[in-house]
Amino acid sequence: MFELHHLTAQEQWDWLQRGEVTPVELAAHYLERIERLDGDLGAFVTVTADAALDRARAVAETVPKTAQLWGLPFGDKDLVNRAGVPTGFGSGLMSGFVPETSDEIVEVLDAAGGVSLGKTNAPEFGLPSYTESLVAPPARNPWDPSLGAGGSSGGAAVAVSAGLLPFAPGSDGGGSVRIPAAACGLVGLKPSRGLVPSGTGLDKLAGLVVPGPLARTVADAAMMLDALVAGGDYPFTLRAPRWDGGALLNAAVRGEGRFQLGVMTSSPWDDAYDIHVSVEASDALALAVAELDAIGHGLEELRLEPDPSYAPNFRTIWQAGASGIPAEGAELDSLEPLTRWLVERGRAISARDLIAALAALTTFERSIIRQFSRFDAVLTPALALTPRPVGWYDSEDAELNFAQQVQYTPFTSFANVTGLPAITLPVAQTAVGIPMGVQVVGRPGGEATLLAIGAQLERRLLWQRRHPPQW
């Protein structure tokens, strides 16, 4: 039987424009699904049903229908502030916190005509690559609830995959959009540093964190990214290069072009950790390569030049970034072991060591861009392993936990360090039906190429027709 969530976000927008469904009816449909299904999934930590319906009525009455996301539901990741709605940051430390003002990305999505249904699940302060905290149920993979959804935008990925939202924004500092998208069978896009005004990354330590969309189709991801890009002024003279083809949605819809592509299974973590690419991850990459070869793209194997400094320098930056978490004295005891380890290590880093790490990662960025320069984009596995079981990560030994995260996700963080755009695409499924994806990393400002490649693969592999049991 047909239901509204069977439509893509693009199709839902068309229905809204034609008056075949109203913003209130669409919001009510998703709220009913959240109430009925989310108890077993852990996609949301807060559902603002009354506010969402009021917002949907206001959109219908006061927001121009030409707004890019007019009437479309989404969820705010629980690391961003929406005035009057609790923001928990996945942590007991922030229990009871209700912000009085909204973050810029929230205002941008509202200005685009979107309707927030609540807050999506995130791990403590967004630091892990899985979404299991002490203050909320784990975000469970809709394809197999015994498996995790990845992180840190795990709740957003669960919601979109299970048809509780048409698409969702996430944030990505080391893979936090792409990891859960790959685990849950979605498209996840991390834009170039500087592209999105409300989250350029330029104001973050080492420029790591930027917002990006999670969606079931390439066009839906481009639709949300266009709204994020359009939603603000640029306060910086530095910004990511842009293509001259208009909206990025144009590239996603057309899916045109033949490109020179690198294929890479080495990672910058290889010198420091035992990285093993599973058969399932290798098979997904081989499938994508075969399809791209059949289309007529040029393909060439690429191996990264060894750089033993990457792992310690990235760890330094990750720990330094955690040092600013507002926990002092006895409050540190309320943090999870991984978070506390990161905070305490970060606060022990000297200014001299931090400056050295930043300089080394800038050198690494230039090296990667040079190594990738002969390619329009580079393919890697999205994840090295299949989605990990809930409870797989060590909850006490922070060093082991960090190593487990690296071994699961060795291909994502370097795109944040270099500021390059990257997209994960759900090209395959395992023998038991679990999603497996590939990552495509582009040139600076190369989102249009990534979207075109994604659209071409989507047409051939039809992943948008695959759905988990909750569908």
Q: Which residue has the tokens 């310690």?
A: 312
Estimate to the nearest angstrom the gap between the alpha carbon of 193 and the chain centroid: 14
Q: Which residue(s) pair with 77 in the sheet?
A: 120
Could you give the CA distance from residue 348 to residue 296 in angstroms, rounded to a whole number?
52
CA distance 136 to 308: 37
Annotated active-site residue in 91, 129, 133, 176: 176
Which residue reads 């399932």 in tokens?
280
Q: Are 467 and 216 in contact (CB under 8 A)?
A: no
DSSP designation for 179: H
Q: Per the omega criterion (within 30 degrees of 0), is the bond before 152 cis?
A: yes
Among the listed residues 77, 129, 190, 267, the single catalytic one is 77
Catalytic residue among 91, 129, 152, 198: 152
152 is catalytic: yes
Whole-angstrom distance, CA of residue 47 vs CA of residue 198: 24
Give the DSSP per-residue string, 397-459.
-HHHHHHHHHHH-TTTHHHHHHT--EEEEEEEE-TTS-EEEEEEEESTT-HHHHHHHHHHHHH
Say whether 176 is catalytic: yes
Count other C-beta atoms under 10 Å from residue 18's C-beta.
Answer: 8
Residues with a known catalytic role? 77, 152, 176
